[in-house]
Chains A and B, each alone.
Chain A
Amino acid sequence: MKALGFTGERFTSAIEGQIEFEHIHRYLMARDLCRGKDVADIASGEGYGAALLSQVAKSVIGVEIDHGSVAHATQSYPYPNLKFVQGDARKLPIPSASIDIVVSFETLEHFFEHDEFLSEVVRILRPDGSLLISTPDRDVYSPSGRPANPFHVHELSRPEFLELLDRHFSEVKVFRQRPLLGSVIAAEQSRGANLITYEKRGDDHLEQSSGVPRALYSIIYAGKSSLLQSEVASSIYIDTDRVDLPALQVAEARAEAAAARAEVAVARGETVTAQLQYEEVKRQTDEHVRALSEELRKRQKRIRDLERRIAQLSEQTRLDRGIGIDDLVAVLKKHPLLYKASRVFWWTITLQLKRRLVERTRLKLEFEKTRQQARKIVAAKLFDQQSYLRQQPKLAKTKPSELDAAVHYLTIGSKKGKRPNALFDPKWYAATYPEVMASGMEPLVHYLQRGSGEGRKPNLFFDPKWYASEYPDVIESGMEPLAHYLTFGSAERRKPDPLFDPTWYLAEYPDVNKTGLDPLAHYLAHGFPEGRAPSLEWIKSNNEKRAKALGLTQSLRSAKIAVGIVTYNNPPEDLTRCLNSVHIALRELGEEGESAVFLIDNGDPSAVDISQFPFLTRLDPVGNVGFGAGHNRLMRAAFTDSKTNYYLALNPDGMLEPGAISALLRMAQGASDGALVEGVQFPVEHPKTYDPIEFDTPWASGACLLIPRRIYQSIGGFDESFFMYCEDVDLSWRAYAAGFRVKICPRALFFHPTHDRSFDLQVHARFLAAGITLSRKWGGNQFEKSLMEQGAKHGIDLSRIPQVEPVSEVPSVVTFDHGFHFARARW
């Protein structure tokens, strides 16, 4: 019987060497325990182990999930007391209390449901039954840096394995197994049994002995004391290098085998595809050859007829007969190269013709469909030929009909973002309504057939529903609203949208008149990119919203602010500059006397002249506890004073613009203290996006961050799982999750110096660690994976980053799609 092929993981009888030693040894150990008993071998694989056990057991049942392996084992080992069944280790196909001993080697690591499996084992065991089970020790088998076994989904460490067994069995005895190349020295035992040797002495010869049989050497430890013998332990000498190297090679071989299997699978798929393609081409070619042969036969017949006719005519006119096709072939056959070239030429021409005919038919059908769609958009007056041809000067030179131009738009122009009329923007439409792209429909066709009726806008400032309700004659006309505006509404200066006023726009920007464009068309093409306003209502509306969001529509309430600074070996001049800016900003606010500044040194004590800053409170340093943990200490101290309303986290290397604290406070109070408020970093802003009217931003930097007491009381300070970096992103997302908002204040400038730093491995490692912690907490699995890969690339050990509790409800602002920006970037 041929052995089952090696997959890269499962041991089969085709494999020799290290894996064989490990597996055979375990089964030999089990064999001694199985004498005369009913045995179950779970994950029996190729079946060799169960067969070994069946030599001494009363009965053996091998359970294996792979149908192929079960069939192979049944055929290979047809013993009366041995049977193999297909089944899942987590739902064993064996009756309860029917087994004396369960054997399961290297099974657990292939699935997650370990407790489920062991419960099943307990179920099938008789009350006095036992289990012999093995699994690789993750700490030894898969250390950092060694290629992972791609077949293992959940390896356990020794303590985890022991803990698992303790949950299901009251008595547990642990054995440790490792391969070795070396020497054994064992004391001769008069009573034997303490050391058993299994020895493979040939393909069909396994021998079991007590002690060390056929020892090459005898060693005697002699003396006159009776205690002497007990001082000498039996020992094993191992040459690690010569054992681990093969082990590593095995691991690498496993990875290579897995990769090779994947390649084979792909190649097999490609082969099947290629075969199908080949058969299809062959079928078409045969068909074509038949047709051509028929044609050739007809033509040859015709040539023969003509030749006969020529012969007759020649006879009649006494002229020489012309040369026929057969003569030509005969001549060509005398010149093999020429003949071969002629045949290649002939077949090339005929095959290409065939392909082109098929393609032409397909295109013809598509073209007819497109023409129908073009007729519809022309009939609906949504296609403006002149406007379109202005964007396509080359096409304009060919003077196409309106229908042909519309077809050109549908087939070419739309994909290039050209507009079918002045107001329909296919790019904007597709980007605004992603489902349009998913539908596979051209945007204008989608708008005409579905979008308009559903109230979708064709551009930023045309509202078809509002237009139809504002002007009742539109519905009476039966026209699509945008088509009506293009045909009548624009000339009548009707408003296309409540927030676009064509009359105001023309008066505000007189140059628009000279362009001859529809005001909305001008706004979309030029005004919007130039930052012009669409209407007075829009300006007023946005200004009111903006002023409200900035807190400018209400008077500033008196407040006690605590400024917190965490230092780490900052130059004294930087810190002095920062403290001075705080002093001035508080003075500008008028709260200088009421407010306080707290400072903690995570590094060496800061060498600042305290006498310059009487408002400064220094907390006793507790070492480098991290950025967030440092601020948490300061926040606790600050909010201990019940009068303190706000905590302002500030980086020590920056500087506040004098009006910054006032601006931050106004914005926080404008949001009823329900928003974290970040100062804008100056002059190099962080590129993350924010709303230009409400100033909401996906997260706020901790470099200059105002935290109202209300939010602190609700969500606490920074998560100290983060040592440095990303703790501010986490705090922001927690604020969103708790129903608060996060804003950036463009009026509060915080000078934040940026430096060209060369790559620093330690800093990079901290970034990666923080990103991984954030990913684990907020569900950024792919991001975590990419960071782990980055770490591996730079040789950074990221295996010890502690696990964190994942957040159950993730707010919509959370994103890992933009790298460490954690938000769409403006640039």
Chain B
Amino acid sequence: MDVIVRLHDPKRLAELKRAIFSLVTQGYRPLTINLVTQRFSRGETEAVVAGLRPLLNLDPDVKLDVWNFAAEEPEDARSALLNFGIESSKGRYLAILDYDDVIYHDGYARLIRELQESGCAIAFGKVVMKFVDVFQDAIICQRQQNRFKGDGLVDLFIDNFCPIHSFVIDRERVDNEVMSFDEKLDKLEDYDFLIRICATHLSSFKLKDTVVGEYYAKNDGSNTIMLSSAARVTHLAAWTRAREAIERRRRSALVSREVQAALGLQTFDPQMSVRNLIDAWSAVSNKRSNIGAI
């Protein structure tokens, strides 16, 4: 199994250590951490590796590879970092974890077991949101909310309720052409990725109520999702553009035959886009049991 961890700021070592500690505690082996950094100097990379070394000593079977994205463009290389990580990952199973989130110790083992039992290409678990205060010397969890709510695939197409660390992909069951993030996007890139992969491949939401990890909503404005009023003012236009791009994706991504069949559609419609599917679902929303969660 490979886990891609992206890191943009070498000062965020304390949060990264929590994420890596959660990976070291995973029950699934073998496990390789592909840490992808964004334009780090050699000294910064060495400092990060030195900081993580004691953690890795806890289990020699957990391997750490550090990959530094050195290109000047794009400025925010979040999608490029993920693609860089995917290219560097060789294992069958793939997961992604941001430097400031954590995964529960049996999260990956459960999701992989579900992939093996269901034959799906991607399996989702539940992630809870923790509101944390980040200080230089401590991270304090203040409260917890169940913000990511959804029942299954159609809900995912309507709005993203699956954070980037809520799923594991079986690469043997996924076509290579969809295994990349759109580098033109610096927001909602993970949602765009999920729409493409889930429109064409079978997905499992059987573990949608099983908590596999935590998403840290931080008080210092370093989250990429819209949390603060400051973020709202500054990034409103960028968010609007990202949402428009997602809607274009919904209209262009076609739902495959096997996904339509899994959703219970009797007749295959080769022209059915994700948007068409959502509209059809809305029209029969009172008959949700016929179409929706897999």
Contact = CB atoms under 8 A, between A and B. Distances in A.
B102 interface: yes
Nearest to A692: B140
A683 interface: yes
B143 A552 contact: no
B214 interface: yes
A658 B57 contact: yes
A655 B25 contact: yes
B245 to A, nearest CB: 25
B135 A827 contact: no
B271 interface: no
B265 interface: no
Nearest to A682: B21
Contact of A826 (B102, B105, B137, B142): B142
Contacts of B131: 531
A511 interface: yes
A82 interface: no
B233 interface: yes
Where chain B touches its partner, the secondary structure class is: mixed
Given A511-B234, A682-B18, A692 B142 contact: yes
A526 B234 CA distance: 16
Contacts of A827: 143-145
Interface string A538-552: 000001001100101
Interface stretch (B42-50, B224-232, B256-264, B283-291): B224-232
Contacts of B54: 584, 588, 658-659
Contact of A550 (B137, B214, B227): B137
Interface stretch (A42-50, A126-134, A744-752): A744-752
B138 interface: yes
Nearest to A525: B229
Interface in B183-235: 213-214, 218-220, 227-230, 232-234
Given A531-B220, A826-B144, A746 B138 contact: yes
Interface string A623-636: 00000000000000
A685 interface: yes
Contacts of A547: 137
B106 to A, nearest CB: 8
A755 B106 CA distance: 9
A692 B133 contact: yes
A532 B227 CA distance: 12
Given A514-B233, A753-B105, A826-B144, A546 B135 contact: yes
B141 interface: yes
A543 B229 contact: no
A228 interface: no
B238 interface: no
A530 interface: yes
Contacts, number: 90
A219 interface: no
A373 interface: no
Given A749-B21, A827-B144, A584 B57 contact: yes
A623 B116 CA distance: 43
A685 B105 CA distance: 13
Contacts of B21: 657, 682, 749, 751
Interface residues of A, number: 37
Interface string A136-173: 00000000000000000000000000000000000000
Contacts of B141: 685, 826
A603 to B, nearest CB: 23
Contacts of B102: 682-683
Given A511-B234, A692-B140, A746-B140, A657 B55 contact: yes
Contact of B214 (A683, A747, A749): A683
B55 A658 contact: yes
A655 B218 CA distance: 26
Interface in B130-160: 131, 133, 135-145
A504 interface: no
B143 A747 contact: no
A252 to B, nearest CB: 44
A421 interface: no
Interface string B162-181: 00000000000000000000
Interface size grouping (class) on chain B: 35 or more
Contacts of B57: 584, 658
A245 interface: no
A755 B25 CA distance: 14
B97 to A, nearest CB: 12
A54 to B, nearest CB: 75
A747 B234 contact: no
Contacts of A747: 137-138
B22 interface: yes
Nearest to B234: A511
A683 B55 contact: no
B69 interface: no
B70 interface: no
A589 to B, nearest CB: 11
Nearest to A755: B106
Among A550, A580, A754, A827, find the residue whose CB has the most chain B CB atoms closer than 10 A.
A827
A427 B15 CA distance: 36
A581 interface: yes
Contacts of A515: 229
B284 to A, nearest CB: 35
Among B133, B140, B145, B228, find the residue whose CB has the most chain A CB atoms closer than 10 A.
B140
A684 B104 contact: yes
A530 B229 contact: yes
B17 interface: yes
B135 A543 contact: yes
Interface string A732-776: 000000000000001101010111000000000000000000000
A749 B25 CA distance: 12
Interface string A581-598: 100100010000000000
B280 interface: no
A588 B55 CA distance: 11
Nearest to B228: A530
A655 B18 CA distance: 13
A531 B18 contact: no
Nearest to B52: A658
Contacts of A6: none
Contacts of A683: 18, 22, 25, 102-105, 213-214
Contacts of A659: 54
Among A657, A747, A754, find the residue whose CB has the most chain B CB atoms closer than 10 A.
A657
Contacts of A530: 219, 227-230
Nearest to A683: B102
A658 B25 CA distance: 13
Contact of B139 (A584, A657, A687, A746): A746
B137 A526 contact: no
Nearest to B227: A530
Contacts of B227: 530
Contacts of B103: 683
B37 to A, nearest CB: 21
B13 to A, nearest CB: 11
Interface string B110-133: 000000000000000000000101
A751 B55 CA distance: 12
A509 interface: yes
Interface in A722-737: none
A532 B105 CA distance: 32
Contacts of B143: 826-827
Given A581-B58, A657-B55, A550 B138 contact: yes
Given A543-B136, A546-B135, 5 more contacts: A511-B233, A514-B233, A550-B137, A577-B58, A747-B137
Smallest CB-CB A-B distances: 5 pairs: A531-B219, A658-B54, A827-B144, A746-B138, A511-B233
26 contacts: A509-B230, A511-B234, A515-B229, A526-B229, A530-B227, A531-B133, A531-B220, A543-B135, A655-B25, A655-B58, A657-B21, A682-B21, A682-B102, A683-B22, A684-B104, A692-B140, A746-B138, A746-B140, A747-B138, A749-B18, A751-B25, A751-B105, A753-B106, A826-B142, A826-B143, A827-B145
